[in-house]
Structure 1
Amino acid sequence: MTESPRFVEDYLLALLAQASHAASADFHARLKARGVAVPVWRVLATLHGAEDGATVGTLGKICLMQQPTMSKLLDRMAAEGLVVRTRQGRQTRIALTEAGAECAEALVAEARAHEAALLARHAEAAPALKALLRGIISG
């Protein structure tokens, strides 16, 4: 009789978390070596190519942060010259400065190369995996 796996060895949420950690570890180490914190990277990546920027709430949702924490991070990023806040009616939008866009461009290129190397090991499954994850995210 074969022993069944421990719960976390077959639990989707645990597998997703462990896969994310394993896939991210090398890239996160590269960010750290460049002096870029993971939350800063997430904001830069989210705003990369977003012509009209994003709201604090949208950034918080995508970057997995509560709004107060996101606001403090954006304060620091604004002080570093990476982002700028603009008022549009009742909303405040966050956009990359020129320096932020340059930083984001370099990091996105590195992230794409990291992703390509990771997905090359699973080329046949990559499109289906991304589609599945998008489905899980959208509910």
Structure 2
Amino acid sequence: MGDPASPARGRFVDGYLLYLLARASSIASAEFHEELRGLGVPVPVWRVLASLKGTPGLTIGELARRCLANQPAMSKTVEKLVAGGLVTRIADENDRRRVWVRLSDEGESRVDTLIARAEVHQARLVETIGEDEAEALRIALARVVEKASAKPASDC
């Protein structure tokens, strides 16, 4: 019996999906995040703007979940975006405790520019693995997200 860490047997993490997913995300995101920094756009701001694109608005809690942030941090990010004129906050008509966050016209324009850059970055990644594999990956990852999203979560 050989060494369990030997290259012939392989390391556990080399086939562990969660490790591979996290590592691939980190590597694939690093270049784009650097581009964002060069534009003076913090990654949390990008995530909020991109998450709001194509929606009528999201609650702070939903934004926090989609943007991989905790609710207090998301509230601070939204405050900065409101002050910068990129988003607006609107109280829910049926529940005054619930606040909807929506892109402003300026936010729409800004996110469109950022999305165009993200699409260029994504195209380079897709070129690396091919369109068919990229589509299979999109489908598989969407299933993982959908399944995780189906679990009950607290309303915000």
| Bin for the TM-score computed over the shorter chain | over 0.9
Find out whether 1:4 has 2:12 as its counterpart: no
Equivalent position of 1:108 in the other structure: 115
Q: Mapping of 1:1-139 within 5 angstroms?
A: 3-50=8-55, 52-89=56-93, 90=95, 91-123=98-130, 124-139=132-147
Pairwise CA distance, 1:45? 0.3
Runs ≥4 residues deviating over 2 A: none
Equivalenced residues, count: 138
Quote the Cα distance in structure 1 between the aligned partners of 2:128 and 2:17: 21
Instruction: With the length of structure 1 as denominator, give the TM-score of the two structures.
Output: 0.93
User: Gaps spanning 5+ residues in structure 2: where?
Assistant: 148-156
**Structure index of larger Rg:** 2
Equivalent position of 2:153 in the other structure: none
Pairwise CA distance, 1:3? 2.7
Alignment deviations for residues 15-49 of structure 1 (CA, whole Å, 9 cap, x no partner): 00000011111111100000001110000001112
Instruction: With the length of structure 2 as denominator, give the TM-score of the two structures.
Output: 0.83
The RMSD of aligned alpha carbons is 1.3
User: Gaps spanning 5+ residues in structure 1: where?
Assistant: none
Quote the Cα distance in structure 2 between the aligned partners of 1:24 and 1:130: 16
Pairwise CA distance, 1:57? 1.1
